[in-house]
Amino acid sequence: MTVTIGRRELLAALGGAAAGWPLVARAQQPGKPPTIGFLGTDASVWRPWTAAFVGRLRELGWIEAIEYRWLEGRLDRVAEIAAEFVHLKVDCIVTNGDAVPTIKKATSVIPIVFAIANDPVGGGLVASLARPGGNVTGLSGQATDLAAKRLELLREVVPRLRRLAIMLNVDYPSAVLEMGEVQAAARALGIEVAPLEIRRAEDVAPAFDMLKAQADALYVVVDTLVSANRTRIITFALGARLPTIWNTRGFVQAGGLMSYGPNFLDLFRSTAGLVDKILRGAKPGDLPVEQPTKFELVINLTTAKALRLTIPESFLARADEVIE
């Protein structure tokens, strides 16, 4: 469904259900307003990020039509939705890094902007950060660059850390790269690593069963599959008394212990800036992949208490957000 609305109606819509979000096209611009195909994983999880994206577009003067599509755990729908966007002849597609390879197979013409990608070059999304090439550009989450930092922070909270479990979707190339960085950092610190490999939702429970609670903490490599199963993963981790570290605050709000990574609101605002440039005529392949500029450390004290962890005051003082 496509709807074009004004500012007052837009603000009202943002306060309502995500499934009903309409949006955006250039005010008083002659001809057909541009349409954005927006593919996200989960409407409720993405709600604040989508609002940040929409808000920045409005600041840039756009009131366009957005075609929202949500996977809601159905990872197999990416190809179907990509084909739908091509049929609708959208002017730009906004999504996350996981979906880009499949969407690229559907179109080499429609600009694709990823709001977040773990490792755009290592994952094969772009040729280089400076010159992406083709019809793709976006924002890097610097997941591999931040892996060692996350592990250091985790060890501050779990000083007894000797064996680290890593959960990842092994079918996602960037996740495998990030795991490699975590393993290298763990070896340097004398920490043993136990990979928990998953490929589908049904693999989550057996992965925890294989671990048999023989780990001191869990590093979660986030992708679409993991995001779709975050409640299940957090529940199993709490049951196994495993402190968890993630890449963004949403997982900590849901019950994970802590996160360190880019500020996703800022990433989605920057995504809107790239879309603005493309709608004004820039070629995505000429727009450098942007790096995050704001990072945040978040910890959930309620989860810490459930795990019987005492968080050092010095750590809490450095946290950008403490959830109680």
Residue 6 in this model has a pLDDT that exceeds 80: no
The confidence score (pLDDT) of residue 84 equals: 97
Q: What's the pTM?
A: 0.84
The answer as to CATH 3.40.50.2300 being correct for domain 143-262+296-323 is yes
Torsion angles phi and psi, residue 284, rounded to 5 = -60, -35
Q: Which residue has the higher pLDDT, 302 or 177?
A: 302
CA-CA distance, 256 to 263, in Å (whole number)?
17
Structure confidence at residue 30 as a pLDDT band (50, 70, 90): low
The confidence score (pLDDT) of residue 14 equals: 38
CA-to-CA separations, 122 to 105, 125, 299, in angstroms, rounded: 18, 8, 29
Q: What would the pLDDT profile of 82-96 be if each residue is shown by its tens digit?
A: 999 999 999 999 999
> What 8-state DSSP symbol labels residue 309?
P
The confidence score (pLDDT) of residue 12 equals: 35
Contacts of residue 212, defined as CB under 8 A and 6 or more positions apart, other chains included, come to none
Torsion angles phi and psi, residue 212, rounded to 5 = 50, 40
- 90: three-class secondary structure by DSSP: coil
Q: Find the helix packing angle between 173-188 and 143-157, rounded to 10°.
A: 40
- 82 touches 110 (CB < 8 A): no
The confidence score (pLDDT) of residue 296 equals: 96
CA-CA distance, 24 to 276, in Å (whole number)?
11
Residue 13 in this model has a pLDDT that exceeds 70: no
Q: What would the pLDDT profile of 90-138 be if each residue is shown by its tens digit?
A: 999 999 998 999 999 999 999 999 999 988 998 889 999 999 999 999 9
Residue 2 in this model has a pLDDT that exceeds 60: no
Residue spans per domain, the chain: 7-141+263-294, 143-262+296-323
- For the chain, report the end-to-end CA distance as a whole number of angstroms: 39
Residue 285 in this model has a pLDDT that exceeds 70: yes
Q: Note the CATH architecture for domain 7-141+263-294.
A: 3-Layer(aba) Sandwich (3.40)
Q: What would the pLDDT profile of 207-232 be if each residue is shown by its tens digit?
A: 999 887 789 999 999 988 998 899 99
